[in-house]
Structure 1
Amino acid sequence: MSNTLPGIPRLVYETIRAPRRTAEYILALDIPRRNLWEALVAAVLLTVVLVVGLVLAVPADPTDPASVAMQEMYARPIPVAIGQLISSVVTVYAITFLGQWLGGRGTLDGALALVAWHQFFLLFMALAGMALGLVLPAVLSMLLIAMIVLYFFVLTQFVCALHGFENAMVVFFGIIIAFLTLLVLVAVLTGFISALFFGVTP
């Protein structure tokens, strides 16, 4: 990859094709921390707007409790956005300090840059998946599985690039454990915020 900033489509493509090399490129840009935080917040908010819009655009199936619960949750976008922001911030610090604790050389700014781009990358992939799903609705379930696989694959390679880890499998399982812990934490915090400020429970 060249030293000049590539276009967004090229960067998305390179993230799929060579995520570790893309991570090294992003780290070399040395973007100021303030801009990285702004990018992360923007990516999270855009993602929440997209997801909330999609969920509320499709009427809930009254016979499906999960569908009804999802509609009720995303009908309150502010707690959802707060929960996603908390999740992203915790992810940045977890990647930084857990990686350092395990002998990695990564920095907070590096983790912030990679998590911010990872969030934007997933947003672009979701938009592409939606467009493809409109043309070929039958592949939506396969696209969802592919998105989940891509999420963890790219994040694993990013963490390896950040900290200089070589064993991607060990990193992957570490991410899974941290991810499950984070899910519980965010669910508790989001429920607390909803009850405190909105008088509702998720």
Structure 2
Amino acid sequence: MTFTPNTVLNLVVQTIKAPQEGASTILSMGLTRDVLAQLLCFVVVVSVLTGQLGVFAMGGGLQDGAMTGPFLMSPLVATFVQFALLIVLITSVHVIGRALGGRGSFEESLALVTWLQFILLSLQVVQIVALLLFPLLGGLIGLLSIGLFLWLLVNFIAVIHGFTSLGLVLVGVIISAFGILFAMSLILAMLGLSFPGSL
């Protein structure tokens, strides 16, 4: 497949309309781990830059710490945090899926989580434009992005590991998310840290 803006856009639309077909198309490319790692880094950096652009486009700035949060105040920190969270997600999709009887490889998890992040990045660009023109529509797109993330993630996991029940995959995702958050909270507590906003 020749990568052009048009083909990538068509693949994004295809994936949103038919997540499992889009996921299969991505996996059929057979991208190596090195290439996928580079693509993940690229998507993370562009995503952080887009987020920063959105903050300033809406009239925010470094002085608005209460609104933008500590991560947006430092693009470098934001990049590290987002990259770390994606690595946790990729590893969880692979390890937990295999533990539950899945057959997917780490490269497949890396490929589809990276593609998922790219789709969310595309929606982020649309949301910024919408916020500038129609603020209410921009907020709705933000809510849509959350639902789309969960829907695509469930379908992608099913494709990666060969699971047939999306309902069971959804339950597994929810339980795993709570487990991971609990484990991260314990680790942060032992390090004397806490999530932003927590007591």
Q: TM-score, normalised by structure 2?
A: 0.82
What aligned pairs does 1:18-167 form with structure 2 within 5 A after superposition? 18-57=18-57, 58-59=59-60, 68=66, 70-167=68-165
Q: Which runs of 5+ in 2 are unaligned?
A: none
Q: Deviations over 1:151-197 (max 9, x none)?
A: 110111110011111111221222233334445639976xx7xx9xx
Q: CA RMSD in A?
A: 2.7
AA matched with 1:59: G
Q: Specify the SS of the correspondent of 2:97.
A: helix
Of the three residues 166, 169, 178, the one matched with 1:168 is: 166
Q: Deviations over 1:93-142 (max 9, x none)?
A: 11111101101110001111101111111101111222233332222222
What aligned pairs does 1:170-185 form with structure 2 within 5 A after superposition? 170-183=168-181, 185=184
AA matched with 2:60: P
Equivalent pairs, count: 186
In 2: Cα distance, 1:109 partner to 1:176 partner: 23
Q: Which runs of 5+ in 1 are unaligned?
A: 196-200
Report the equivalent of 1:198.
none
In 2: Cα distance, 1:74 partner to 1:142 partner: 22
In 1: Cα distance, 2:125 partner to 2:177 partner: 24
Asked whether the 8 Å contact 1:56–1:71 carries over to 2, the reply is no
In 2: Cα distance, 1:31 partner to 1:14 partner: 19
Q: Which has the higher contact order (CA 8 A, sep 6+)?
A: 1
In 1: Cα distance, 2:101 partner to 2:165 partner: 13
Q: Specify the SS of the correspondent of 1:59.
A: coil
AA matched with 2:15: T
In 2: Cα distance, 1:76 partner to 1:104 partner: 38
AA matched with 1:95: V
Q: Specify the SS of the correspondent of 1:31.
A: coil
AA matched with 1:50: T
Counterparts in 2 of 1:84 and 1:69: CA distance versus 1, 3 Å: same
Report the equivalent of 2:9.
9
Moved more, 129-138 or 101-110: 129-138
